[in-house]
Amino acid sequence: MVSSIFRAALLMLLSLTPLAGHTQANIEIDTPAIASIKRSMQQRHSQLEPYYSGGAIGFTRDGLIVMRDANAVPLAARQSVNGLIAAENQDRNALYREIARANSHPEWEADIRSTFGQRWIELARGGWWYQGADGGWVKK
Amino acid sequence: MKFLIRILAAFFPAVVSVQAASLTLSAEDIRGPLSNIKGIQITLAGAPPSSSLRMKLAEVGIQGKTWHNLHFSCDRFRTRREEINCDSGALRLSESAPLPVSFRLSVPGRTSDVKILDVRIRNSAGKTGEGWKLSLRTGRAGWEGTLTAANGEIAQVVQLLPVSENAILPSSTKGKINGVAKLRADLDGAAVIDAHLAVEDVAFSDVSGLHAGENISVTVDARARRMPRQIPGQKTHLWEWQADAHWPQGEVFWQPLYFAAHGDRFSARGEVDGSTLRLRTGRLSLAEIGEIDLSGRMDWRANTLHDFDLDAPDLQMAGLYSQIVKPFLINTSFSALKTAGQAGVKWRFRNGVNEMLDVDLRDVSLEDEGGRFVLRDINTRIPLRAAELTHAAITIGGGHVSRLPVGPVHIPLEITGLNEPDFRIPRMEAPLLDGKLTLENFSAIRQAQGSLPGWRWQFSGDLSPISMEQLTRALGIQPMRGTLSGKIPKVTFDGSAIEVQGALLLNVFDGTVLVWNLKALEPFGSAPSLMADVDMRNLDLDLLTGAFSFGNMEGRIDVAVHDLELFDWKPVKFDARLMSSPGDYSRRISQRAVQSISSLGGVGAAAAIQRSFLRVFDEFGYSQIGWSCTLRNGVCGMGGIESEPMPHGYLIVKGGGIPAITVIGYNRRVDWRELVSRLQRITDANARPVLQQDKQ
């Protein structure tokens, strides 16, 4: 269920209108590398989802995730959640880089990241946390 | 509490002399050398000996710590000539819950030199005899205080502590303390501290939860004594201290480390001299790691470490890796290992800078949980010195990387510096199957700043002939004959991509393979991809077709694969052209090979040969072979010999000699996966013809 929601969200995200300022950027571009990163992120999502809902992990404006409140994670799990966050961010960074590269414009990475940053927040479910424009945390 | 004695003692004569129904004392500010109290209001109501006392202090500052709105009230405040007592008082700080406090201040005998103050804080459950008890006794020669805790609730005490941002505070009300702490002071001030305390079931956390502990039990025995310092003409002193702690239970997360108690111990002794805290000897015994000897010197007021020595000659690698090293290796190739063996660490930090770090590994093994590599019998001693060149030798007894066996390998490592070390290997040789890999001019440095922080490295090298039979067997792929050898030009890793500058030259199938523009993107990430241009020259078709059970062919071919892009070792894009090499050599193609080529275009072509007279010949002559495939989006766009265009289809094999055969392809677009599976079926069928016939 969670995975299918995520898939739908990812699909919506990847079929968004072209990037502002780069009318030719295609962020729904699909290469084996992008498909593999998406698969890896989908598989991890079910592990991350309870921490999004519980407020432990929040979405940053630059398209990554961060430990927002470690108190919401059982003590013994905090280290492994750190590992999940690091792996997810590695995938997200690779996704932005790969989409830019697949568009033959590696220099668009920053714009693609920023677009994804906004869209992840828009697609976040109610109760999840994200970083507002001033850097403070906002509960959706 | 000493301050309370002072206030009460000052108040005492006034109390006993007044006969009025109510007395209020107010003061704006009382300043002392160690304390500063503002907004004092003390009200005594009712006639002695039984009155009620209300005391409010707006702000109390003691040695830089500030408390606000301290309230104390006592409804049964009794005063007699030699005693003041309060059976049921309540102490409250700001908005905290009131603490049930009772106290008794007595002046035994006629003299006011000796004063005794007993303060009790009862447990919230109100169990008799449980809680905190502080006894202070002052006399001419000094004073003595004893704090006794009988299931003393830590939360009660903590709510009286001044709150500061980012403070680490108990996160549960469960924690209790048992034990006794004594402080004895003479006329020069505190002289002896002696504490035997057992903490049970404590939980603490900072606001972020990144520094937290739960269910912690610790026992601490600590002693400190003031000693005169041996400086002629000066009356100064220092403190000698020692402490022993035992941690039998609980867990601590201290970003990014996590520890669960296993009966770990810490013993230390040292001195405090002014603002200098000296650790003369310390020993940390970690049950799953080993024993670590520590010593050092710090300025505790400025929170600055001056000197530190750590000596741990015999640590268990398994515990050291899983508890301390692993969290720092997230997202690297070494983030999930099974480790064994022993390690030794010696670190010296002097005057605020790293001076030396010795690391030695003894019979260490590293096994990747994902099965990517195993390295066994690693032995080394690496003596790192600040601003000096270190020569270290690492030996690896054996193991494997991917499916290739490794070792034994001797790595002559040179390291410059300590804080940001620069690693070099001038030259090393590693046996690889029946050949060897030579690495030259390897250098690596860790970059902390920049857009891609992390390791950067580069090297060049050489691969001396390796039998392809052994290599393909080790890799578990189609057996091939011949040898693999070549020159490895400069290879660099910039934190994101491995790039080969220049051409990689290999010798296979009696021909040469040049790999250009070789680049691996995100080689250690979740989506590694590889890009290259490959030019193969003069490959021996006999060796090549024999290797792939394709059906024998004689001759030589050149193959160009440009813009090759592999993901997960599978091609996703390329422009490939295969053609007969120029030159004079025997050009024969077996019937089976013709069938194999035809089968790539579909089953019908192979069947057509079988039906024709050509089936009587085992092999044919040819003059040229040509084939091309442009792979895009999973579809291979095919073509044949470029110099022989055809109106329909494309020429793959141009006949020559007697008997000659010509093979023409018609299908220009084939699904790549389908083409690969056809090739797989053909080579499988040729390798196991009997089995395939039985199936049919």
Nearest to A81, CA basis, from B337, B327, B322 = B327
| Chain A residues touching B212 at Cβ < 8 A | 70-71, 75, 78
Nearest to B366, CA basis, from B317, B329, B332 = B317
**CA-CA distance, B498 to B478, in Å (whole number)?**
27
Q: What is the pLDDT of residue A19?
A: 46
Q: Is A87 on the interface with B (CB under 8 A)?
A: yes
**Which one has a higher pLDDT value, B24 or B560?**
B560
Contacts of A11 (CB under 8 A, 6+ apart): none
Q: What is the mean pLDDT of residues B412-423?
A: 88
**CA-CA distance, A127 to A121, in Å (whole number)?**
12
**Which one has a higher pLDDT value, B476 or A19?**
B476
Q: How far is CA A60 from CA A17, A56, B10, in A?
A: 22, 13, 59
Contact between chains at B330 and A82 (C-beta distance less than 8 A): yes
CA distance B530 to chain A (A): 11
**CA-CA distance, B257 to B252, in Å (whole number)?**
8
Task: Look up residue B664 and give its two tokens.
Answer: 């023409």
Nearest to B240, CA basis, from B185, B194, B198, B207 = B194
Q: What is the mean pLDDT of residues B439-467?
A: 85
Contact between chains at A86 and B522 (C-beta distance less than 8 A): no
Q: What is the pLDDT of residue B455?
A: 84
Q: What is the pLDDT of residue B429?
A: 93
Q: What percent of chain B has pLDDT over 70?
A: 89
Confidence (pTM)? 0.80
The string of pLDDT tens digits covering residues B159-194 is: 777 666 556 666 666 789 999 999 999 888 889 999
Q: What is the mean pLDDT of chain B?
A: 85
Q: What is the mean pLDDT of chain A?
A: 84
Q: What is the mean pLDDT of residues B498-523?
A: 86
Q: Is B449 on the interface with A (CB under 8 A)?
A: no
B613 backbone dihedrals φ, ψ, rounded to 5° = -65, -20
The full DSSP string for B579-633 is: EEPSS----EEEHHHHHHHHHHT-HHHHHHHHHSGGGG-SEEEEEEEEEEEEEET
Contact between chains at A82 and B212 (C-beta distance less than 8 A): no
pLDDT-derived band at B689 (thresholds 50, 70, 90) equals very low
pLDDT-derived band at B130 (thresholds 50, 70, 90) equals confident
Q: Is A84 on the interface with B (CB under 8 A)?
A: no
* B455-460: Cβ within 8 A, 24+ apart: B455/B493, B455/B495, B456/B492, B456/B493, B456/B494, B456/B495, B457/B423, B457/B492, B457/B493, B458/B490, B458/B491, B458/B492, B458/B493, B459/B425, B459/B488, B459/B490, B459/B491, B460/B488, B460/B489, B460/B490, B460/B491
User: Parallel, antiparallel, or unpaired for β B389-401 and B373-385?
Assistant: antiparallel
Q: Is A76 on the interface with B (CB under 8 A)?
A: yes
Q: Is A102 on the interface with B (CB under 8 A)?
A: no
Contact between chains at B331 and A40 (C-beta distance less than 8 A): no
Contact between chains at B209 and A78 (C-beta distance less than 8 A): yes
| Chain B residues touching A73 at Cβ < 8 A | 209
Mutate to test the interface with A, among B249, B526, B529, B567 (most CBs of A within 10 A): B526
Residue whose entry in the numeric block shows the structure tokens 């500063």? B36
The string of pLDDT tens digits covering residues B380-400 is: 999 998 888 999 999 999 999
CA distance B567 to chain A (A): 6
Q: Is B213 exposed, middle or buried (0-12, 13-18, 19+ CB in 10 A)?
A: buried
Nearest to B319, CA basis, from B258, B397, B388 = B258
Beta bridge partners of B74: B53, B89
pLDDT-derived band at B22 (thresholds 50, 70, 90) equals confident
Contact between chains at B330 and A87 (C-beta distance less than 8 A): yes
Contact between chains at B567 and A33 (C-beta distance less than 8 A): yes
**CA-CA distance, B116 to B135, in Å (whole number)?**
7
Q: What is the pLDDT of residue B14?
A: 44
- Say yes or no to pLDDT of A27 above 90: no
Q: Is B570 on the interface with A (CB under 8 A)?
A: yes
Give the residue from chain B lying closest to A29, CA to CA.
Answer: B633
Q: Beta-carbon neighbour count of residue B535 at 10 Å?
A: 15
Q: How far is CA B373 from CA B30, B332, B337, B583, in A?
A: 71, 13, 10, 44
Q: What is the pLDDT of residue A74?
A: 94
Q: Beta-carbon neighbour count of residue A96 at 10 Å?
A: 25
Provide the greatest CA pair distance for chain A.
Answer: 47
Q: What is the pLDDT of residue B126?
A: 66
Q: How far is CA B529 from CA B78, B203, B249, B521, in A?
A: 85, 47, 47, 5
Q: Is A26 on the interface with B (CB under 8 A)?
A: no
Task: Look up residue A100 and give its two tokens.
Answer: 């830019």
**CA-CA distance, B2 to B189, in Å (whole number)?**
12
Q: What is the pLDDT of residue B16?
A: 42
Q: What percent of chain A has pLDDT over 70?
A: 83
| Chain B residues touching A67 at Cβ < 8 A | 210
**Which one has a higher pLDDT value, B308 or B12?**
B308
Residue window 485-544, chain B: list those with CB within 8 Å of chain A. 496, 521-522, 525-527, 529
Of A60-74, B250-264, B673-687, give the lowest mean pLDDT range: B673-687
**CA-CA distance, B122 to B157, in Å (whole number)?**
11
Q: What is the pLDDT of residue B114?
A: 83
Q: What percent of chain B has pLDDT over 90?
A: 43
- Say yes or no to pLDDT of A98 above 80: yes
Nearest beta carbon to residue B256 from set A36, A79, A90: A79
Contact between chains at A71 and B568 (C-beta distance less than 8 A): no
Q: What is the pLDDT of residue B258?
A: 94
Task: Look up residue B279 and give its two tokens.
Answer: 């650790």
Contact between chains at B526 and A72 (C-beta distance less than 8 A): no
**CA-CA distance, B53 to B102, in Å (whole number)?**
12
B659 preceded by cis ω (within 30°)? yes
Nearest beta carbon to residue A79 from set B213, B258, B521: B258
**CA-CA distance, B515 to B579, in Å (whole number)?**
18
Q: What is the pLDDT of residue B618?
A: 81
Q: What is the pLDDT of residue B482?
A: 72
**Which one has a higher pLDDT value, A17 or A29?**
A29
Q: What is the pLDDT of residue B13?
A: 44
End-to-end CA distance of chain A: 21
Provide the greatest CA pair distance for chain B.
Answer: 140
Q: Is B247 exposed, middle or buried (0-12, 13-18, 19+ CB in 10 A)?
A: buried
Q: What is the pLDDT of residue B21?
A: 63
Q: Is A14 on the interface with B (CB under 8 A)?
A: no
Instruction: Detail the DSSP E strand segments found in B32-141.
Output: 35-45, 50-62, 65-80, 83-93, 99-106, 115-122, 131-139
The string of pLDDT tens digits covering residues B222-249 is: 999 999 877 777 778 899 999 999 999 9
Q: Is B212 on the interface with A (CB under 8 A)?
A: yes
| Chain B residues touching A31 at Cβ < 8 A | 567, 572
The string of pLDDT tens digits covering residues B574-624 is: 999 999 999 999 999 988 888 888 777 654 454 555 556 666 778 888 999
Q: Is B335 on the interface with A (CB under 8 A)?
A: yes
Q: Please check whether residue B2 is in contact with residue B34, taking contact to mean a CB–CB distance below 8 angstroms.
A: no
Q: What is the mean pLDDT of residues A120-131?
A: 93
User: Parallel, antiparallel, or unpaired for β B570-580 and B588-590?
Assistant: unpaired
Q: 3-state SS of chain A: helix, strand, coil percent to 5?
A: 60, 10, 30
Q: How far is CA B402 from CA A92, B474, B528, in A?
A: 26, 10, 15
- Say yes or no to pLDDT of B52 above 70: yes
Nearest beta carbon to residue A70 from set B210, B260, B526: B210
Contacts of B676 (CB under 8 A, 6+ apart): none
The string of pLDDT tens digits covering residues B55-114 is: 899 988 876 778 888 898 998 888 887 888 888 899 888 777 888 899 898 887 766 678
